[in-house]
Homo-oligomer: A and B are copies of this chain.
Amino acid sequence: MDKEEQEFLKNYSIEDFERPSIATDIAVFSIMDGDVDNNRRLPEKQLKLLLIKRASYPCKDAWALPGGFCRKNETVQETAARELYEETNVKDAYLSLAGIFSDAGRDPRGWIVSNAFMALIDGNRCRLRAGTDAWEARWFNVLLNRIEEKRKYDGDGAKLQATYGLALTSGDIRLTAKLKEETVYKNNHEKTACKLLSSDGLAFDHAGIIINLICRLRDRAEHDFRIIFDLMPEYFTLTELQKAFEIVMDKKLLAANFRRKLADYVLETDKAVEGNAHRPAKLFKRNVEAFYRG
């Protein structure tokens, strides 16, 4: 660094420009067992999302994604990892940036840019921070549907509208939201805009972030199915793995084909699940070599 540059930096004041606060919000997904009604049947698996009840203003009493402000000398990835650990006690997890939300009016406190992360964890391994009077964390059951879809083509243009309905439930709490996504293709170029039509019980613009991140989760799983393993415990049955795939991808699979496709990615162990009134399932674990052969 030459003298002139040192001089420049001495006189440079970054405070001259207005700056935002920057925060991370994390959509922590896991897969957990639903209620068991019949001891012969396997428990139903459900996609879960971790939410926290806000104890203070703004959006007091609404449910929000876990997250917090970035500190100086910390990357946003580090912020996300720290927040994830504070909330769930999980240190090693899939944790990846999935979007930025920076609309001017998104937070009444001022200019706050949110870096939205997606985390995939094994729900059983996680120990939620204990709730207090002023603080509560809960797993919500996730249900996202495409409730409407319109397609229009004309010559070199196209316009697609899709409306998504989100329902998050935990016990008798039910949070809902609707989002309209509009994709316009014009001048050989595509532009997508999202608009939150309604949001009930969710803080800030988090309903929009959540819908967005669920879609991203499905996209990513479609692109690289290996991320599904990040939702699994160390040992799992192939049926459990298949159900995880089905829940995330939102479609049914045939067991025979599924097993053939995943055969290389798992290793059989000598353990098995016992005590059920049907043939016991072998437990498998990841075959690390297969993950990194490519």
Contacts and interface: CB of A to CB of B under 8 A. Distances in A.
Given A8-B57, A76-B100, 9 more contacts: A4-B57, A14-B109, A19-B20, A22-B113, A72-B104, A74-B104, A92-B187, A93-B189, A97-B100
Q: Which 5 A-B pairs give the minimum distances between C-beta atoms?
A: A8-B57, A92-B189, A14-B110, A19-B19, A75-B102
Interface stretch (A26-34, A126-134, A153-161): A153-161
A76 B168 CA distance: 29
Interface string A1-20: 10011001100101001111
Contacts of A100: 76-77, 97, 100, 115
Contacts of A185: 288, 291-292
Interface string A252-294: 0000000000000000000000000000000001101101100
Copy number of this protein in the oligomer? 2
Interface in A66-103: 69-70, 72-77, 92-94, 97, 99-100, 102-103
B102 A288 contact: no
Secondary structure at the A interface, as helix, strand, loop or mixed, is mixed
Contacts of A21: 14, 17, 19
Contacts of A12: 109
B188 A9 contact: no
A43 interface: no
Nearest to A92: B189
Contacts of A146: none
B57 A76 contact: no
A245 interface: no
